[in-house]
Every structure is written in structure tokens, then in C-alpha cells.
Amino acid sequence: MSSTNQTAQSIDSGHIRNCVLSRRQTFIFAVTCALAVANVYFAQPLLQSMADSLSVPSATIGVIVTATQAGYALGLVFIVPLGDLLNRNRLIIGQMLLCAVALGAVGLAQTWGLLLAAMLLVGLMAVLVQVIVAYAATLASPEQRGEVVGSVTSGVVLGILLARLVSGVLADLAGWRSVYFASALMMSAMAVVLWRTLPEADTPRASAGYLALLRSMLQLLVHERTLRRRGLLALLSFAAFSVLWTAMVLPLSDPALGLSHTQIGLFGLAGLAGALAAARAGRLADRGQGSRTTGWALLLLTVSWLPSAGLHSSLLALLVGVVLLDFAVQAVHVTNQSLILAARPDAHSRLVGAYMCFYSLGSGLGAVAATHAYAYSGWPAVCALGAIISATALSYWLWLERRAG
């Protein structure tokens, strides 16, 4: 064993508990993740309303998504690894309460600068999702780890989808600010539920300190090939995901189509297929079929842009594209996590944090690129951008397969 790997593994010298995680606790974890991740995606159907409210150009409003993802990326690096150092129960509840404060700040923001700062803080606290995923993977037995990760990730998918619908309905009823006030109350209430239902608190498992923990996270990026390869696939697939969902609201809310916030949010329900993909992909990964699942999912991701390009002639075609894209992205995501966590069971929080940095970077870059592509040449340019990113991901997977063969 190399000295570098010894340094990384020495941080996890404590006892790692593996048990059969109950369905009840898995469900509670999934619901918590749904509520937490929704905060990252509430803004997508509301971008135009936010732009109008704060007098911000449409080409610039995508920076809201980027600010949230920037906060998320910072949280992945500096907060998620704490799950390998601190008591996870206290870390989770503390993040939920701070998230509630950040959401209230978004609802109260009256200037562009304050809104961006508050959204960055929302993203910073939303990494609660990854702390829970790593916690669930640690509590689960190796035989059920993929299924548990898939089930918890199904909650994440539902949170993403319902976020768009709920934010659209609330915005139509009481304005976009009401979305963030309501979520602040929900996060506070869920913190109480978790305080009463979390498993017995695990003791801190690291003894080398916070800075050593961060250094070991960098070491994992350098030395874990599975993490790097799967991370790049995550970057590309979530960039494509962000391209669709960030730009889609612009033509749908345009006077030519004139859909309401609620109607736009309903498109999120088409992505329920993503929840099914998440649960199924986890089980397939447990059976050693992760690579094949990834290949088929990336092919679907690339093909999904063909029907999506027909938005102006058929909303049904867009619906088909949304279903294919969400199914594909979530299948890749769950497979990625299952394979990465299996590679190093002793460093779940740091592995998840490092992996999700790729996810966050892809989402942020996709959001900025999508709004600029739309401003430059409309929806066809957005679909061309998404197709190129998706085809790049598929080509990279094929290259990896050839090298493995």
C-alpha cells in the first residue's frame, strides 16, 4: 500500500458500522434529501419572474443557478468531508437549520447582489443531501448499498421534479418569494423530525483533523481512477441536464407559448422516469452491470435531444425528450455513486464530496452556457449544445470501454 493511500485511510481508523438499514429510515432519508435538493432547483421555473422583479436581463438571470451551484461546490469541498470527522446527526440537523435561514434570506432579498449571496448560501447548505447519501451508504450492508443509494437518490430525483411544480404553483398563487418562505418552514419542521428519528449517533471516525481530511480528499482525486472517470461522466451528463432545465423555461414562458409557472412546473412530472431509473440502476450496479447500464443511459441521453428540438411544433415531443433525459441522467448518476462508494468503503463522505464537485461544476457551466446559447440563437442552439455535450459523454464512455477491453 502506498504512503499516500495510507494517509487517506488512516483518517478512518474508527469503527465503520454496516447493518441492514430499515425501510423506514431509508424513507426518512429520501424525504429529507427531496426537501433539501428542491432548494437548488426552485429557481429554474422562476427565472423570468426573478429577472422581472429585480430588473435583470434574461441573458444574465442564469447566474442565479450558477451562484447556487458555486455554493454547492464549496459545500462539497469544505462541508461534506466533515461527515468523516464529526457526529453526522448533529451535522445534518445543523445544516437543515442554517438552510432555513438562507431560504428566508432569499425571500427577503431586494437587490441582485443580496439575492446572489443568499442563493450561494442555499447551495452551500444543500450539500446536506450528500452527507445523508454517504451516511446511508455507511449504515447499509455491502449487499444492499447500491439499492439503498438508489432509493435515497430516488428521493433526490423526486425533490428535483416536485421542486419545479411546487415552485410554479406557489409563484402563481403568491409570487416567487413565497416559494422560499414555505421551504424555510419545511426545512425547520423536518429538522425536528430528524432530531427524533435519526439512528443512534455515530462517534467521530477521524482522528487526524480537518486539514488532513481535506488533504486526503485531494489524494482520493489523484489516486482513485474510478472517482476521476466517473466524475467526468457526471460533469458532462449534468451539464446536459442543466442545459435543458435552465433554458427550457425561456421559450415556454415566451409570449408565443405563454405557459404559466404551474404549467411549466408540470413538465417536471415527466421526469418521474428518473426516479424509476435511480432505483433500478442501483440494483443493477449491485449485480455488476454498472458499465452496461452507463452505456445505454448515455445513448438515451444523446438521443433525447432529437424530440426536445421540436418544442415549438409539439410540446409532446418535448415531453418525450424530458423523460429520456431525466431517465438517462439519473441512471448514470446512481451507477456512478454505487461504483465509487464500492471502491473505498472507508471514505464515503469524502468520495461523495469529491464526486459531486464534478456534478456541481457541470450543472453550473451548463446553466451559464444554456442562457447564452438561447440569447444567441434561440432553442435550436440550446438543443445543439446539449446534444454535443451528451455525445461527448458517450464517446468518453466508449473510449473507456475500449481501454478496459
- State the CATH architecture for 20-404: Up-down Bundle (1.20)
* 378 Ramachandran zone, left/alpha/beta (phi>0; psi -120 to 50): left
Q: Count of CB atoms within 10 A of residue 112's CB?
A: 17
Which pLDDT value is given to residue 274? 63
In three-state secondary structure terms, 132 is helix
Residue of 267, 250, 236 lying closest to 363 (CA atoms): 236
In DSSP notation, 133-152 reads HHHHHHHB-GGGHHHHHHHH
Please report which helix (H) or strand (E) contains residue 308, including its range: helix 305-308
Helix (H, G, I), strand (E, B) or coil at 85: coil
pLDDT value at position 299? 95
Locus of grid cell 433525447: 304
CB-based contact 234:357 (threshold 8 Å): no
Residue 117's pLDDT is: 93
What is the CB neighbour count within 10 angstroms for residue 202?
19
Residue 206: per-residue pLDDT: 53
Return d(Cα 139, Cα 318) in angstroms, integer: 40
DSSP class of 19 = B
pLDDT of the residue at 6: 44
Q: What is the pLDDT of residue 7?
A: 40
Residue of 246, 223, 228 whose CA lies nearest to 69:
246
Task: Output the DSSP codes for 257-268.
Answer: T---HHHHHHGG
Cell numbers describing residue 113: 447582489
C-alpha cell of residue 211:
486539514
Q: Which sequence spans correspond to the domains of the chain?
A: 20-404
**Run of H or E including 98:** helix 88-108
Closest alpha carbon to 63 in 358, 362, 365, 376:
365
Task: Give residue 4's pLDDT.
Answer: 40
Q: Are 47 and 249 in contact (CB under 8 A)?
A: yes
State the amino acid at position 208 in one-letter form.
Answer: A
pLDDT of residue 397: 94
Angle at 389 between CA 400 and CA 323, to 5 degrees: 100
d(CA 202, CA 58): 47
pLDDT of residue 2: 43
Joined grid coordinates for residue 385: 449544445
pLDDT along the chain (405 residues), means of 10: 42 45 84 91 82 78 81 85 81 94 92 90 91 82 72 80 82 90 95 85 59 82 88 94 87 80 72 64 69 90 94 88 88 84 71 82 87 90 96 95 79
How crowded is residue 259: how many other Cβ atoms within 10 Å of its Cβ? 18
